[in-house]
Structure 1
Amino acid sequence: MTQARMDPRTQRRSRAARRVRDLLRAAIVLEEFSAGPLPGEAELMLSFSASRQVVRDALALLRDEGLVKRIPGTGTLSVASKVRHSFSYMHGPEPVRDTEVVSHRILSTAREIAAPRVAERLRLPKGSACGVIEYLTYVGEEPYSACTAYVPPPLLDVVARGQQVEEWYRVYELAGFELGVTDQAVEAILADDLVAGLLNVATGAPLLLFERLVRDHTGTPLEYAFARVRGDRMTLTVQLPRHSWQCRRGPKRGPEA
């Protein structure tokens, strides 16, 4: 049934359910609910001024997303732990729960002739070699991201030790590098068969692709990488000022009383 032909009452219920879904998802991700079962249907109906069917439709949408599950006799439980990743400074994933540990597993390392874009980003001579590292990042026991990192050949052994650190960028600092600015580009993609298997998601599942260029404090490139992050494991957060001067000077003060 198309949206145009849908009964008006059904359209209103569908829109209401999606609004409740969005608000519930935000509350779950930000841990506004205590750990364990979500509030019951009657409490959710009161909280959102919604009918029982709207609440049930909203919970069904969240189940389709894999964020909650229904357990007969227990209720509806949150099952996905989202990592909140703020774009305020350069860092790795920050687990929501204190019991979750970030770890890395190196899948492969190799020396290859750098592709033109890799050579340009790493400032390598055309036709020269680069190091290639494939690795997985885990948050707790669940895979979080799959990454391909390109580095200048002298850094291949350094980055291969990333399996021993909790925060990926720390591997450079332990090797004596002072990190500077990192460029990040983010876009939404779908998981192919290989990445889906690595991340334990279905083929075609939503991912966030992070393309990054890591530099030291002098601007020298240290790493050019592509990280594919599970869309169901990450929430991006950032505070955006309205005007550029607020980035430099902070909030503008009004006239004194």
Structure 2
Amino acid sequence: MAEVRIAPQPIRRADRARQVADVLRHQIHGGAYGDGLPGEPELAAEFVVSRNIIREALAALQDEGLIHRGPRVGTHVAQHKFDHGLDVLLGLQETFDGQEVRNEVRAAATISAPPSVARRLLLEPGAPVVFIERLRYLGDLPLSLDQTYLVPDIGAAVLAHPLETNDLFPLIEQISGQPLGAASLALEAIPADRHSATILQLPGGAALLMLERLTTLADGRPVDLEYIRMRGDRVTMRGNLTRSTP
């Protein structure tokens, strides 16, 4: 059988600019360019592309709000993202240990569990659950809007603690007398609805990371179901994966 050779296709300029932007974005998130990005000629030489491609890549990063550019001042990083690991079960305050995390408690009450919530927490339909909504800040920056459903026995005890300064995970472990075991999670990108965008100080339609997380105790009992809207422009989710046999 004759060998079929496929002729290489030229890479379009827009595709090449996107490739450059992806590499630069990764380097910026890794802490590079503290003194500012190199000039267009240096970047063009580094990536072996034209200066027009570099301009397109930088324009994309500027549109994301990641860099700012100006005449005679060059190109500088406008903001850095925070790394949020997916390998270990930690609360926000535990994740960003050493940084100021505070909570604005928007709701904290016992309600009847919606059917899907009752099912996930292995409760009877309409059973009471404790609902907590918090706007969570990292420093002065609103970072996430968290909606939490807790099983009633643990949730009632949680409400007796100051939620403005406490992560829920340590409280659950303290109240239950056993460590948390594991969590199942789903992560997707969604456009911010107008109400959430206002609360999180984002333009309407901006991208949010929606995290659904069901957490169990060490004995396997589900106790905490969360729906977390997190600012995608401030957080990078990171994890380490191990190849398993398909």
TM-score for the superposition, normalised by structure 2: 0.85
Quote the RMSD (CA, aligned, Å). Answer: 2.4
CA distance change for structure 1 residues 75 and 157 in 2, over 3 Å: closer, same or farther? farther
Q: CA separation of 1:169/1:115 partners in 2, compared to 1, >3 Å: closer, same or farther?
A: same
Q: Does 1:161 align with 2:159?
A: no
Q: Which amino acid aligns with 2:48?
A: S
Distance (whole Å) between structure 1 residues aligned to residue 174 and residue 42 of structure 2? 51
Letter matched to residue 242 of structure 1 = R
- Name structure 1 gaps, 5 residues minimum: 1-8, 246-257
What is aligned with 2:3?
A: none
Say whether the 8 Å CA contact 1:37–1:78 is kept in structure 2.
yes
Task: Give unpaired runs (5+ residues) of structure 2.
Answer: 1-9
Once the two structures are TM-superposed, the CA of residue 36 in structure 1 deviates from its matched residue by: 4.2
Tell me the number of residue pairs that the alignment of Structure 1 and Structure 2 aligns.
233
C-alpha contact 1:62 1:68 (8 A) present in aligned 2: yes
Map 1:171-210 onto structure 2 (within 5 A). 171-175=171-175, 176-210=177-211
Determine the structure 2 residue equivalent to 1:51: 50
Q: Match of 1:35?
A: 34
Aligned partner of 1:255 in structure 2 is none
- Distance in 2 (CA, whole Å) between partners of 1:77 and 1:187 is 30
CA contact (8 A) 2:33 2:77 kept: no
Runs of 4+ more than 4 Å apart: none
Give the structure 1 partner of residue 6 of structure 2: none
Displacement of 1:153 in angstroms is: 2.7
Percent of paired sites with the same residue: 36
CA contact (8 A) 2:117 2:225 kept: yes
Which residue of structure 1 lines up, in the alignment, with residue 222 of structure 2? 221
- 1:131–1:156 Cα contact (<8 Å) kept: yes
1:83-162 matches, cutoff 5 A: 83-93=82-92, 94-95=95-96, 100-154=99-153, 155-158=155-158, 161-162=162-163
- The question of whether the paired residues in 2 share the 8 Å contact of 1:132 and 1:156 is answered with no
Question: Which SS does the other structure have where 2:242 is aligned?
Answer: coil
Shift of 1:168: 4.5
TM-score under structure 1 length normalisation: 0.81
1:235-254 counterparts in 2 under 5 A?
A: 235-244=236-245
- 2:4 is matched with which residue? none
Give how far 1:108 is off. 1.3
Secondary structure at 2:12 match in 1: helix
Once the two structures are TM-superposed, the CA of residue 170 in structure 1 deviates from its matched residue by 2.5
